[in-house]
Amino acid sequence: MKKDRSIMKTAIAIALLTFFAMAVGSVVATQEVESNDSMSLADYVGSVPGTCSISAAKSPVGDVDWFYFYVSQYSYVEIETTGASGGDTEIYLYDSSGNQLDYDDDSGSGYYSYIDTYLSSGYYYVKVEEYANNEVISWYTLTITGTAAGGGVGAVEVELSPSSTTVSRGSTFTVSIYVDPGSCGISSGEVWVSFDTSAFTATDASAGSLLGSGPVEALKQLDNNNGLVKLAYARVGSTPVPTSTGVFATITFTVKNSASAGTYAINIQYAGFADQNFNDIANVVSYSTYVTVTAGLTGDINGDGVVNYVDLAILGAAYGSTSGSPNYNASADLNGDGTINYVDLAILGAHYGESL
C-alpha cells in the first residue's frame, strides 16, 4: 500500500512539473530575450484580437530583432514601434513561410514605424531594424493591436504574386493580381496597382482566368507618368458561386536601366468587386508585393552582361522616340526621362565595352 502511495505521489509530482513547464513555456514575454536575431529565434509577443507588446533595444549597432505573434481569427492588425527620442526603425511583416507581406519605415510617431493590414488566422513574424543599421536605440516598444474584422470567411482577398522577387536593371517581370473570393461569386472587378516610376515602366496588362474565358475589358490604363495601372473586367455569362480562386490580371513591367538598386513596393491602391447579384462586395482586403532591383551594367540594354554594339543597335532603333511612341523601348531610355536621345547615347558610350 505504501508503495502504491509512493508511486501515486511520484506521478502527481511529474504531472505538476509537466504542467508548470508548459505554463512557463507559454508565458508571453514583455522584454525581448537575446539572441532573437533570426526568424527561428523570434520572441513571442502574444496573440490578437487584443493588444500585446514587448520592450527591446537596438544594441549593439547592427542588432536585428525578430518577434512573432498569433492571430486567432481574421482581424484588422496594427503593428507599431515607439521608443527613445531620435530612434529610427524599420519593420518588416512576414507570414509563417517567410514571405514578406509588408514593410514600413517612418509612418509611426517621429521616425518610428507603423503597419496596418488585415490578417487571417495564423502565426506572423515581425523583423525590427534600426534604419541603416548604424545607430543604437537604447529602448523601444513593439505594440501589436488586433480587432476582429468579422466575416473573414466571406472576405475577398486580393494579393500581388509573387509576394517578393529580385530583378535586374533592363529586365522584364510580371506581377499577377491573385484573388481569393472566399464564399462570394465574382461577376466583375476593378483594381488599381501603383508602382515607382523611377524604377519601373508598365508595358502591358492582360486578363486572367478569374472571370472565365474572354471577359469584357472595361478599362486598361497604363499610366507611366503617375505610376498607376487601372484595370477593369466583367464576366460574360452566369457567375459561379463561389467563384474559384484565380488571377484577375497580369501586369508586365520593365526595370529601368536608371533604377537605383534597392527594394520597391508595388501596391494595390484600390480593389472593388461585384458579386453574382451585381452588388458591391464590402469586405475586400489586399496585400502588396516587394521587388528588389539588383545593380547591373548601365547600358546593357539586352541584359547579356556586356555593353557592346548590340546594345548600341537597340538604342539606335529607338533613337528619337518618346514614351508612347511605337518604337519606344523603355530599356533603351537609360536616364528614364521618357525620351531616347543623345543623352542616352552618351550614357551608353561612357560604359561601352564594360562586362560583368
Rounded (5°) CA angle 253-212-150? 85
CATH topology of domain 39-148: Jelly Rolls (2.60.120)
CB atoms closer than 10 angstroms to residue 263: 14
Sheet of strand 284-287, all strands in order from the earlier edge strand to the far edge: 200-207, 246-255, 172-180, 156-161, 284-287
Pick the closest to residue 134 from 58, 62, 59, 60 (CA basis): 62
Task: Please tell me the class of the 156-294 domain.
Answer: mainly beta
Sheet of strand 43-48, all strands in order from the earlier edge strand to the far edge: 43-48, 65-71, 122-130, 89-95, 100-104
pLDDT in tens, the chain (356 residues): 444 544 454 444 444 434 433 333 333 458 888 889 999 999 999 999 999 999 999 989 989 999 999 998 878 899 999 999 999 999 999 988 888 888 999 999 999 999 988 787 889 999 999 998 889 999 999 999 998 765 444 578 898 888 888 888 878 899 999 999 988 899 999 999 999 999 999 999 999 999 999 999 999 999 999 999 999 999 999 999 999 999 999 999 998 878 888 888 898 989 999 999 998 887 787 777 778 877 677 888 887 889 999 999 999 999 999 988 899 988 888 887 889 999 999 999 998 998 87
- Parse the chain into domains and list their residue ranges: 39-148, 156-294, 309-351
Binning the chain into helix, strand and coil, the percentages to the nearest 5 are: 15, 45, 40
CB atoms closer than 10 angstroms to residue 117: 17
Superfamily of 309-351 according to CATH: Dockerin domain (1.10.1330.10)
Domains 156-294 and 309-351 in one fold: no
* Cα 335 from Cα 343, distance rounded (Å): 8
Enter the C-alpha cell of residue 342: 543623345
